[in-house]
Amino acid sequence: MSAKRLKRQLLKKKLFNKNRLVILNEDTFEEIFSLKLNLMNVFVSLTISTIFLITGSTFIIAFTPLREYIPGYSSTKLKREATQLAMKSDSLERAIRQNNLYVDNINIYGVIVPPLLKQQGYLIYPNPFRQQFIIRNYQVPVTLQGAHIYNSMGQLIWSKMYNGNAYTEMPVDLGSVPAGIYILKLQYSDKTIVERIIKQ
């Protein structure tokens, strides 16, 4: 029992035994710096410094942008952006599939344009006609204001007004009028076209 007590006293003496840390000039042996220390002070100082170092490192890593450099760490902003990009890529894939379906269902065919239609910009056919004829424009006639048909006496027998809503092909039915020669007047905002049509 006394041996244990003796060991404790020796350890206590070693821990609290005062020592001096002295820094000397090597050439002159002049004392530059001295510090009174004991082992207990050194142990406590090292422990507190270690705790501060660990706490400071944890704080820097946890609460500063440096944490993004840790391998395997992903921030909430990156997760949010990754989720948004995944949703966008899904919607883009869906749109591409729909576009592919649309493209697959397109039937391309050629239309032969009569030279007279291309030259005049309009064409009346068939002329002569039996029941109806078609007024065909080379381009959408946005300036067409109205189409009127007169008989040989100058009487208006058919008329239709347009306000920029005419089509490139406009059928005209004259099945109820007798056979004869008629005058078709196409009134545009910048010009007037007059054509003779014959009903058989």
CATH T-level topology, domain 115-199: Immunoglobulin-like (2.60.40)
117, 138 Cβ separation under 8 angstroms: yes
* Banded pLDDT at 73 (limits 50, 70, 90): low
* Banded pLDDT at 98 (limits 50, 70, 90): confident
CB-based contacts of 17: which residues, under 8 Å, 6+ apart? 38, 39
**pLDDT tens per residue, range 148-198:** 999 989 899 999 998 878 888 889 998 889 999 999 999 988 889 999 999
* Banded pLDDT at 64 (limits 50, 70, 90): confident
pLDDT of 163 = 80
As a whole number of Å, the end-to-end CA separation of the chain is: 142
Tokens of 179: 């056979």
Q: Is the pLDDT of residue 140 over 90?
A: no
pLDDT of 51 = 94
- Closest to 67 (Cα-Cα) out of 58, 78, 80: 58
More confidently predicted of 161 and 101: 161
pLDDT of 49 = 92
Q: Whats the size of the chain, residue-wise?
A: 200
Q: Whole-number mean pLDDT of the chain?
A: 84
pLDDT of 72 = 67
Q: Is the pLDDT of residue 133 over 80?
A: yes
pTM of the model: 0.45
Strands 144-150 and 180-188: antiparallel
126, 174 Cβ separation under 8 angstroms: no
Element (H, E) at 120: helix 115-120
Q: Where are the domains of the chain?
A: 2-61, 115-199
What is the phi-psi region of residue 72: left when phi exceeds 0, alpha when psi lies from -120 to 50, beta otherwise? left
Long-range residue pairs from 37-45, CB within 8 A, at least 24 positions apart, any chain: 39/14, 39/15, 40/15, 40/16, 43/15
pLDDT of 74 = 66
% of the chain residues with pLDDT over 90 = 21
